[in-house]
Amino acid sequence: MEEEVRELMELSGFDYNESQLLDTDMDYERPNVETIKCVVVGDNAVGKTRLICARACNATLTQYQLLATHVPTVWAIDQYRVCQEVLERSRDVVDDVSVSLRLWDTFGDHHKDRRFAYGRSDVVVLCFSIANPNSLQHVQTMWYPEIKHFCPRAPVILVGCQLDLRYADLEAVNRARRPLARPIRPQEILPPESGREVAKELGIPYYETSVVAQCGIKEVFDNAIRSALISRRHLQFWKSHLRSVRKPLPQAPFLPPRPPPPVIIVPDPPVQSEDDPGHLLEEASCADVVLVVQERTRIFAHRIYLSTASSKFCDLFLMEDGDPPSQARDPLLRASSFDACEGSGETEGAGMRTSASDGTLGREGDRDLSGWSRAFESIRSGVMEEPPGYSARRVTVVKMDSSVRPGPFRAVLKYLYTGRLDEREPELMEVAHIAELLEVFDLRMMVANILNREAFMNQEITRAFHVRRSNRIKECLTKGIFSDVTFVLDDGSITAHKPLLISGCDWMSAMFGGPFLESSTTEVVLPYTSRGSMRAVLEYLYTGQFTAGPDLDPLDLIILANRLCLPHLVALTEKHTVSVMTDASMNNKDIDGEAVMLLEAAQFHGAHQLAAWCLHHISTNYNRVCRKFPREIKLVAPENQQTMEAQRWPPVWYLKEEDHFQRAEREREKEMALHQKRQPKRRWLFWNSSGAGSPASSSSAVG
């Protein structure tokens, strides 16, 4: 027996200590302390033992601890004989009456004999689970008749246990339950009315409890004590201290906690291969530069990549465009040296000529650069019709210095595109030589690191390269430098760079990378797109970052990002929108209208996380939002309406309960007022009839 007690109490979260065991019953009858035996009955696994432990041992467990264990009670146990703390916690004062509450646990099996537990009980707490309709049915068919059979005079209290399951996430609960436990279905959850109806039919009070939410436990036992004391008052009418005991009080409804808003999860950004955008190098489809090495070798490249990685290339292309070199350490010197070279060549633009029909470039109009830089021989404009099937387009032809050899130059270009240098590069000294010519000092340092067997230090250089490139690319975007396409939008236009678009977005790659008209045109019309959202898309594609400009409309951006198949950007925009709305709401700004407006638009354009957040906002402020936007809410899709109804907070059952409680309270107050009205009359009669004693002593005797 002792072992059973120990096991049960330990599994119920009670810290069982050998020293707490008492050999003898420590309790004793004290004058004016009412000892109340309270038997707890009900079906198996409805939560009797947990409820008793919560009252008797103050055992509190989380839902998941609770779910993982159920120890069926096998014998009625009087724990007060064995445990000092339980005995002490049994003492209570209810309506000025000192009581010692003796709780008796029982097993739920219908066929077992419980007469030992029922014997001489003062009150019976009859439990069912609000997640098990059968257990409520058995209250009427089995438990109440049994109680009336064994203790016909004991008052009974009906208790709906496990109230937290009414608002819990049942899927999560079922996942956490023991493997063989029957899953709880949402349609099985009973509303408070069901329990109350049964209680009304039986003429007994009704309460609800949850050990997880720690609610209703005190109410159940305090009111069980009241019922027992009132019953005792009838039999032991001479006990004057029982006069102040009130009838069981109505239970205030438990407001479940407001469900937390869904968290917006941003997936990992699309993986870029280490080689990115190296694969574009030598790709003719969107090349705007042809680098001629040692007269024979042509390498296709891109101004935007070359210029953002090398100041020398940047200066070269800026000067070709007629701008002074922005990044030159000595701009005047550079410009003048370029001018000096120009004198020996053709005038600006005169070097352009159509390519031959086989795609080769013309040779006229070369401008000598040998005096300006040791890396280049000449530059000129030309027209290219490669790859086959593509329309002719303008390119810049740069002839490299004769000391530059194709193999090591390709390694240098690879660095300019990716920030990396292959350790196994066979001609490292040649690479260093070209790096020197192009003034790419980081690359020279990388070569030195490899030669010194310190290649691991090159990772840091690569990191710095990307930071620098990102900043330069941003600058090119802001200033429109080296752009090769203009997007015509609803509220203006914005320039961009095809190579960057192709390497960042499959949709753009399909448009600009294939033999379509767009690959050769310099203007693309994008209807239903604003400048603010296009700028955010370009920044994202260029730098991988999300930046919200002042003119950004998040929904516009979501629509565009969804159209361009950029789920990562959609998620970033959702996160941004939710954080802006949360901040606004915390600063007492009204976001209800925005949430209603965004809900279905977000769903339609693939922003399902934002839609779920809006749905949560509307559901948890349901009454207010419905009052403000009745027509809009009516027009919401039925699936959304259903979700709102299901997730409504405060829930409908709570509002009904609150209403019921208020009515019950009003009735109780009326009853009390009526009772108080009657009191003085009786006193008056008493005075008149007896004609003895002082008014003071009389009132204290009756009151």
Per CB under 6 A, residues contacting ligand GTP are 44-50, 63, 66-67, 69-73, 107-108, 161-162, 164-165, 210-212
Q: Whose Cβ is closer to ligand GTP: residue 46's or residue 229's?
A: 46
Among 12, 63, 73, 79, binds Mg ion (CB under 5 A): 73
Q: How far apart are CA 624 and CA 116, in angstroms?
A: 55
Cα–Cα–Cα angle for 669, 674, 676, rounded to 5 degrees: 95
Percentages helix, strand, coil for the chain, rounded to the nearest 5? 50, 10, 35
Query: In whole angstroms, how close is the CB of 48 to Mg ion at the nearest point?
Result: 5
Q: Whose Cβ is closer to Mg ion: residue 49's or residue 533's?
A: 49
Helix (H) or strand (E) holding 298: strand 297-301
CB under 5 to 8 A by kind: which of Mg ion, ligand GTP, none does 438 bind? none
Q: CA-CA-CA-CA torsion for 36, 41, 45, 49, nearest 10 degrees?
A: 10
Query: In whole angstroms, how close is the CB of 207 to ligand GTP at the nearest point?
Result: 13
Alpha helices in 419-480 (DSSP H): 428-437, 441-451, 458-479
Q: Whose Cβ is closer to ligand GTP: residue 47's or residue 606's?
A: 47
Q: If we measure between CA atoms, which residue out of 185, 189, 225, 223 comes closest to residue 207?
A: 223
| Binding span for Mg ion by CB under 5 A among 71-79, 283-291, 353-361, 376-384 | 71-79
Q: Whose Cβ is closer to ligand GTP: residue 59's or residue 602's?
A: 59
Query: In whole angstroms, how close is the CB of 8 to Mg ion at the nearest point?
Result: 8
Q: Whose Cβ is closer to ligand GTP: residue 48's or residue 399's?
A: 48
528 HSE (CA, 13 A, CB side): 8
Query: In whole angstroms, how close is the CB of 143 to ligand GTP at the nearest point?
Result: 12
Give me 352's structure tokens.
């352009």
| Binding span for Mg ion by CB under 5 A among 72-80, 114-122, 157-165, 295-303 | 72-80
Q: What is the DSSP secondary structure assignment for residue 38, as one 8-state letter?
A: E
Query: In whole angstroms, how close is the CB of 201 to ligand GTP at the nearest point?
Result: 23
Q: Whose Cβ is closer to ligand GTP: residue 223's or residue 418's?
A: 223
Q: Whose Cβ is closer to ligand GTP: residue 6's or residue 444's?
A: 6
Q: How far apart are CA 55 and CA 80, in angstroms?
A: 13
Q: Is 227 in the site for Mg ion (CB under 5 A)?
A: no
Q: How far apart are CA 407 and CA 424, in angstroms?
A: 13
Q: If we measure between CA atoms, which residue out of 330, 296, 291 comes closest to residue 313?
A: 291
Q: How far apart are CA 285 and CA 395, in angstroms?
A: 12
| Binding span for Mg ion by CB under 5 A among 47-55, 238-246, 400-408, 639-647 | 47-55
Q: Whose Cβ is closer to ligand GTP: residue 131's or residue 612's?
A: 131
Q: Is 129 in the site for Mg ion (CB under 5 A)?
A: no
Q: Is 418 in the site for Mg ion (CB under 5 A)?
A: no
**Phi–psi pair at 700, nearest 5 degrees:** -70, -30
Query: In whole angstroms, how close is the CB of 221 to Mg ion at the nearest point?
Result: 17
| Cβ pair 41, 126 in contact under 8 A | yes
| Cβ pair 317, 550 in contact under 8 A | no
Neighbours of 488 (CB within 10 A): 13
CB under 5 to 8 A by kind: which of ligand GTP, Mg ion, none does 278 bind? none
Q: What is the DSSP secondary structure assignment for residue 92, as one 8-state letter?
A: E
- Which residue in the shown chain puts its C-beta closest to ligand GTP? 108
Q: Whose Cβ is closer to Mg ion: residue 49's or residue 458's?
A: 49
| Binding span for Mg ion by CB under 5 A among 48-56, 190-198, 389-397, 535-543 | 48-56
Q: If we measure between CA atoms, which residue out of 204, 105, 225, 107 comes closest to residue 148?
A: 204
CB under 5 to 8 A by kind: which of Mg ion, ligand GTP, none does 82 bind? none
| Cβ pair 470, 447 in contact under 8 A | no
Query: In whole angstroms, how close is the CB of 617 to ligand GTP at the nearest point?
Result: 27
Q: Is 12 in the site for Mg ion (CB under 5 A)?
A: no
Q: Whose Cβ is closer to ligand GTP: residue 66's or residue 559's?
A: 66
- Tell me the CA end-to-end span of the chain in Å, nearest whole number: 47
Total site size for Mg ion, rule CB under 5 A: 3
Among 49, 310, 533, 640, binds Mg ion (CB under 5 A): 49
Q: CA-CA-CA-CA torsion for 52, 55, 56, 58, nearest 10 degrees?
A: 120
- The binding site for Mg ion (CB under 5 A) comprises 48-49, 73
